[in-house]
Amino acid sequence: MDVNFPVPIVVVVHRMKNNNSSTADILQYRSKVHIHEALDKTEVLPGKIYIAPADYHLLIDDQLILHMDCSAPLNYSRPSIDIFFESVAYSLGKSAAGILLTGANSDGANGLAKMKKAGCVTVVEDPETAEFNAMPLAATKLFKPDFVCPANEIIDLILSVQKDE
Name the amino acid, one letter, at 123.
V
Contact with another protein (CB under 8 A) among 49, 56, 96, 98: 56
d(CA 78, CA 93): 23
Pick from 14, 45, 32: nearest CA to 23: 14
CA 8 to the chain's CA centroid? 11
Is 129 exposed, middle or buried (CB count within 10 Å of its CB: 0-12, 13-18, 19+)?
Answer: middle
Q: Does 84 participate in binding another protein (rule CB under 8 A)?
A: no
Contact with another protein (CB under 8 A) among 83, 96, 148, 154: 83
Part in contact with another protein (CB under 8 A); list of ranges 36-44, 125-133, 135-143, 152-160: 36-44
Show contacts with another protein in window 97-156 (CB under 8 A).
Answer: 114, 118
Backbone angles phi, psi at 64, to 5 degrees: 65, 30
Q: Please, are residues 110 and 139 in contact by the beta-carbon 8 Å criterion? A: no
Least Å distance, CB 109 to another protein, is 14
Part in contact with another protein (CB under 8 A); list of ranges 53-61, 131-139, 142-150, 152-160: 53-61
Name the amino acid, one letter, at 149.
C
Q: Does 38 participate in binding another protein (rule CB under 8 A)?
A: yes
For binding to another protein (CB under 8 A), which residues are involved?
A: 18, 20, 38-42, 53, 56, 59-61, 67-72, 83, 86-87, 89-91, 114, 118
